[in-house]
Structure 1
Amino acid sequence: MKIVVFDFETTGLNPQNDYPIELALLITDFKDTHKEYSSKIKLPRGVKLPPFITNLTGLTEEDLQQKGKDLEEVKQDILSLIDIEKDLFVAHNANFDLGFLYHHFGIAPKRFVCTRTIEFLTNPHENCSLKNTYARYYGEKEQTHRALDDVKMTLEVLKSHFEHHGEYAMVFFVNKIVQTPERNLVFVPENATVLDFTKKFALKEEKQ
């Protein structure tokens, strides 16, 4: 099984209104890393990079303009590396990354796993950010908020999930995403099952 771990850095949180500025892919079968891909992405003309994104990632508009690729060029790079029918796509908070993959590149993988969803379902009382999830398994590590670094952290988290839950149990998490009270889903893939934890249920009283 070929696993594609991927991550976007973006201008904001909404895949329909914001833009990708960096993408990284790491293709593996767990035994070996077959391919690493990372590219900065040029912004469309007239789109500005918010200062807080520069503060978070260290990326500047000059970086993107001078070293970035056009969206179509990045799309062709992606398609040369992946098989959307067979590969398992993995991201932390996958609805976010899958949203940018779909809205800006028209790519919709058939199978995905969200490591944030796995962590939420198996450690429901813990903070499920990538930084905190990684720390639970490997200890503290500074998060750079650069795409390739985040991809490598996500892969290590995925490996720990496989070790803790087993391959057969991991099948349950394929194409599952959680809706939580503190974070709305910005995109729902067509093939996804949403586990809604925003609703509260009460047992009906039995009639006497």
Structure 2
Amino acid sequence: MNVVVFDLETTGLSPERDGIVEIGAVRIVDGQVDETQRYETLVRPTTADGGTMLIPWRAEQVHGISNDMVRASPTITEVLPEFLEFVNGWPVVAHNIGFDAGFMRANAARAGLNWNPQAELCTVQLSRRAFPKERAHNLTVLAERLGLNFAPGGRHRSFGDVQVTAQAYLRLMERLRGA
């Protein structure tokens, strides 16, 4: 199946109150990750009325993205049409899809756009099916379980997480087909 694997970094956990600070995505075409078909951008977070939103210290500690890093970046309303064109209605995959898709839905609605991929697939749910006796299914644990490694500095950055999520998706699908 052809899919777009994507990941967001945000200022917090609420799609209604928090902003997106980074988007990373890559396409899987004919069962192969195609890194020539990738999308990656920092995003300057804004409030619902377009005002300045600062990245809280706690969020910066997670992903390492600072206010200085996004100061000259485009806003989500500038980035979203381009990202939606990249997705192009394809099925999307994310680790904990509810979180990422929730942010995409909320931001698309505020911008008068539609978030309408063919399907939303979750590697957390696939991991639970593939490893039903395991309790932990976060991306770090899943990567270790599947023998995958993050690029240096890649964990909790959108494209670094996307690279691992894409490989995890392929391995989980292979494992589940074989079951």
Q: Same fold (TM over 0.5)?
A: yes
The one-letter amino acid paired with 1:151 is V
The match for 1:38 among 22, 40, 57 is 40
The match for 2:122 among 114, 124, 129 is 114
* 8 Å contact kept, 1:98–1:108: no
* 8 Å contact kept, 2:130–2:176: no
Q: Shift of the alpha carbon at 1:56?
A: 1.5
How many angstroms apart in 1 are the aligned matches of 2:54 and 2:77? 19
How many angstroms apart in 2 are the aligned matches of 1:115 and 1:161? 8
Q: In 2 relative to 1, CA 43–31 (structure 1 residues): closer, same or farther, beyond 3 Å?
A: closer
- Within 5 Å, which residues of 2 pair with 1:19-98? 19-29=19-29, 30-31=31-32, 33=34, 34-44=36-46, 45-66=51-72, 68-84=73-89, 87-98=90-101
Matched, 1:4 2:9: no
TM value normalised by structure 1: 0.73
1:64-123, Cα deviation, whole Å (9 max, x unpaired): 112x21212211211322222xx1100000000000110012413231110001112332
Tell me the matched-pair count. 165
Q: Shift of the alpha carbon at 1:32?
A: 5.0
Matched, 1:137 2:135: no
Q: CA RMSD in A?
A: 1.9
* 8 Å contact kept, 2:87–2:117: no
SS at match of 1:25: strand
Higher alpha-carbon deviation: 140-149 or 103-112:
140-149
Matched, 1:99 2:90: no
Q: Shift of the alpha carbon at 1:52?
A: 1.4
* 8 Å contact kept, 1:101–1:108: no
In structure 1, the residue matched to 2:131 is: 123
Higher relative contact order, chain-length normalized (CA < 8 Å, sep 6+) = 2
Q: In 2 relative to 1, CA 2–128 (structure 1 residues): closer, same or farther, beyond 3 Å?
A: same
In structure 2, the residue matched to 1:195 is: none
SS at match of 1:16: coil
Q: Shift of the alpha carbon at 1:2?
A: 2.3
SS at match of 2:107: helix
* 8 Å contact kept, 2:7–2:24: yes
In structure 1, the residue matched to 2:166 is: 155
Percent identity between matched residues is 24
How many angstroms apart in 1 are the aligned matches of 2:32 and 2:130? 25
How many angstroms apart in 2 are the aligned matches of 1:10 and 1:139? 24
Q: In 2 relative to 1, CA 140–27 (structure 1 residues): closer, same or farther, beyond 3 Å?
A: closer
SS at match of 1:166: helix
Segments of 5+ residues of structure 2 without an aligned counterpart are 110-114
TM value normalised by structure 2: 0.84
In structure 1, the residue matched to 2:176 is: 165
How many angstroms apart in 2 are the aligned matches of 1:90 and 1:31? 14
